[in-house]
Structure 1
């Protein structure tokens, strides 16, 4: 027997039940009432989401369509008709590879905590409850929000997502310095995503990727007594090959909503590598500055940001020419803040390359995640498996020379990651009889307390069970002694203090930052205002 409803959905795509009834009636030449009867008596091959829509509509789809691009697109469209928050979540998540840190979700999807708005917690919880999405703990990224269908492929998804997040962090630090130099905001008043909850970049009822109060004349207002109230710089970023209109729709929603709030004056920016023509036209009509990495920083830096994502993604699975790391440092390391981000991000990739070139026959895995009871509980930066012989689990900490690794990091490594990883490794028959070594590669220093804890653990461990090793700068340098190209990269960018570099490598504005923070703030903040005044204005907005 022909399943007309199933065939209609396969041909026309998933839809709300009201649209299906009208379309099916026209397709079969029957009355809408007869079409609704077919929907009520649908076969098991036609399914419906449990989440409610307006006027008690149901979202219908053929079982074979679940999770396809067409499924998500049609679902986003259906949500948009009744509740835009769910649609914006789907579009934001698709634009970012299907997984993002939970702390980024409110900004990326344009979910606000304002009146007559669905609370942020309820939005994501409703989507999780219907089984389409899930929250997962990803070591290094924290709690993340993801399409449920992506969970089995997490190891494949993470390298490009991590690479994009690192590149976006470098970009935000670059934009912060650029905006501060122009006087759009005081350097120490900028807030960037990913910080503590109390320091999140919020203006009015929305979160953004970067904000700053601004006293430029186009944004600031003065009351009758001459006391100033700042406007705000608000900015979002998305570094993918090309940003389209669907990717931009949550940001445009935020900008439109913000313009309805009385007493809040903002200058709105979006930064991407490039835009589709449709997206560019739409964002310009909204009065938003459609910045690109090239228009802000020139061709060299724009290309370097694209190369950074590509290099980090490639380095997760295969060797990278050491010159590539040097080029990235030369092009991006001049940006204060970016150098530290690059140092921490690239160190584990460089160490993975060292392993590939010094350990014969080894299988190298980066950012290996270990799960327990379906949850991600530990991550190994670099895992080195020599079949039939040994496994090395390397924790990479690329700190400034002389800087202390926090005692809490050492505690977590010794008492959480090592026991968890060892336990799960011994559960694997393939690895059970191999020698296990847990290593900490550190370009900074250990506190006396942390050093004592490690030595006590080393002394208490039976070497026949496993070993714990720490490699500091001298040992790391000795390891790469016979690899001239890698030794140059490690020595120059990880083992030598950046203050020993020439002036052209360290941005002169940034060198003055610590000593002149008060002066910069005084220059940009009118008399009578203080940091607490700015906070009060931002909260009121």
Structure 2
């Protein structure tokens, strides 16, 4: 059987598979290698990524087909684990992950380390192959490489918010018991040339070492896996990263992997390597675990929940008030768009929160999209601590609004289109002047903007229960 026929029959494969097949049929391995080296059109190859200088071969008719991606993923998993860890990390987070976070889920160093390919190089190569893409502040995965459901942006937002809460909580917990040095915790930071979700020095007796009579701190490092099933494949990056760190770290360290679930097999592997597995309900309590579950569900399915079960949002707010103290109150701003969605839930016919629209290769996010019988309202929602400046408004008006408008009116929609900007901290004088000018000059659609007083006035007139209390107690003070 020719190499072309073999690949057409069995699908794309690595060179070692071809060598193994033909050598079993009486051809020497050296002869097979020479035969492979002469392969040309219609067989193409992908090299430079796989162990032992292997090459991935595929027929031109298979390129970009299901079998191409299925076998390519298998080849990367088996023979290119550094690349696979990146693909797996984005896949685990349902197709999106913040750029600054991805290195924490890889076992490639962020600083130069002999015999290890740098993380940035890994990313650049994956981008060149169109395996991953840049999407504003995050990386996305080529959906053809994923064995999970399609990429889910709202889920990404929910997980990112949850991880930020966990990092803050873990920082407070380790600080309160004296495990780490006060106010030393850092998120998405480097330790021993690798990135972790959390790092902090520790001067606890027993793990602190001394050099010339001076204490040399140990370190607490932690990564977080949350929201999806965790098996051996999911924890592999952490085990490999810790294994490398052990060989070249110049001080003691305590490795934590914080999880909401883990299979028995993965748990055994982690414990065998001396990893501290921190279950969220054991570290912070069952109520905190329920808060995270509620947060994940509400943010991921915001539009549906706010229309069909708005009480779930009220429950989430109550849980926040009870469990999240003042040190993490800034995180509440991420829930402001849900508050605006809750406001519209009893007024509109249908509702989307965090909707991604695509038009002519451009992609934009709409915080809240409310459909009425006679109009469509697209709301931008910001819960900042300072006034919204002119630059933010200019970008919204010139970069975001036109694309969204074209998308909403592509099928000759005759409804009135209204673009709103909600700000709990108000606007600068320059921003207001710009907004007023645009309100008067733009005719195709309406521009509206609301600061603290207008938001509270709208809340008081709303039919949505408790919206006034939510806005006053949670987002807007002294109005």
Tell me which residue corresponds to 2:316: 328
Determine if contact 2:343/2:467 at 8 Å carries over to the other structure: yes
Q: How does 1:431-446 map to 2 (within 5 A)?
A: 431=413, 433-446=414-427
Question: Retained in 1: the 8 A contact 2:342–2:464?
Answer: no
2:176 equivalent to 1:181: yes
Given the alignment, which residue of 369, 383, 408 partners 1:398? 383
Q: In the alignment, does 2:466 pair up with 1:466?
A: no
Deviation at 1:25, TM superposition (A): 5.1
CA contact (8 A) 1:48 1:60 kept: yes
SS at match of 2:255: strand
CA contact (8 A) 1:399 1:494 kept: no
Matched, 1:381 2:367: yes
Q: Do the aligned residues in 2 keep the contact of 1:235 with 1:268 (CA within 8 Å)? A: yes
Question: Do the aligned partners of residues 335 and 386 (structure 1) sit closer, same or farther apart at CA in structure 2, a change above 3 Å counting?
Answer: closer
- For residues 478-519 of structure 1, the C-alpha deviation after alignment (integer angstroms, 9 at most, x for no partner) is 43432224444344322347xx9xxxxxxxxxxxxxxxxxxx
Query: CA, structure 1 residues 399+158, in 2 after alignment: closer, same or farther (shift >3 Å)?
Result: same
Match of 1:105 in 2: 102
User: Does 2:288 correspond to 1:297?
Assistant: no
Of 408, 412, 416, the residue aligned with 1:430 is 412
Match of 2:339 in 1: 350
Task: Work out whether residues 362 and 403 of structure 2, in 8 Å CA contact, stay in contact via their aligned partners in 1.
Answer: no
Of 49, 65, 68, the residue aligned with 1:66 is 68
Deviation at 1:473, TM superposition (A): 3.6
Give the superposition deviation at 1:382. 1.4
Residues in 2 aligned to 1:111 and 1:55: alpha-carbon distance in whole angstroms: 18
Secondary structure of the structure 2 residue equivalent to 1:444: coil
CA distance in 1, matches of 2:310, 2:303: 14
Counterpart CA distance in 2 for 1:382 and 1:154 is 24
**Is the CA contact 1:315–1:349 (under 8 Å) kept in the aligned structure 2?**
yes
**Paired residue secondary structure (2:248):** coil
Given that 1:215 and 1:231 are in contact with CA atoms closer than 8 Å, whether structure 2 keeps it comes out as yes
Q: Count matched residues.
A: 463
Q: Deviations over 1:63-95 (max 9, x none)?
A: 342333x64244211214xxxx22322332332
Report the secondary structure of 2:366's partner residue.
strand
Residue 396 of structure 2 aligns with which residue? Answer: 413
Over aligned residue pairs, what C-alpha RMSD do you find? 3.3
Compare relative contact order (CA 8 Å, sep 6+) and give the higher one, 1 or 2. Answer: 1
**C-alpha distance 76-429 of structure 1, shift in aligned 2 (>3 A):** same
Match of 1:505 in 2: none
Separation (CA, whole Å) in 2 of partners of 1:127 and 1:30? 37
For residue 417 of structure 1, report the CA deviation from its aligned partner: 2.3
Normalised by the size of structure 1, how large is the TM-score? 0.76
For residues 404 and 9 of structure 1, the distance between their equivalents in structure 2, rounded to whole angstroms, comes to 61
Unmatched runs of 5 consecutive residues or more in structure 1: 194-200, 501-541
What is the distance in 2 between the residues matched to 1:448 and 1:218?
58
Q: Which one of the candidate residues 203, 207, 218 is aligned to 1:231?
A: 218
Alignment partner of 1:482 is 2:478: no
- Post-superposition shift, 1:445? 2.5
Counterpart Cα distance in 2 of 1:125 and 1:154 = 25
Provide the residue aligned with 1:524 in structure 2: none
Secondary structure of the residue that 1:367 maps to in structure 2?
strand
Where 2:164 maps in the other structure, the secondary structure is helix
Corresponding residue number in structure 1 for 2:195: 207
SS of structure 1 residue aligned to 2:101: helix
Partner-residue secondary structure (3-state), 2:87:
helix
Q: Matched residues in 2 for 1:284 and 1:155: separation?
A: 33
Deviation at 1:396, TM superposition (A): 1.0
1:322 deviates by 3.5
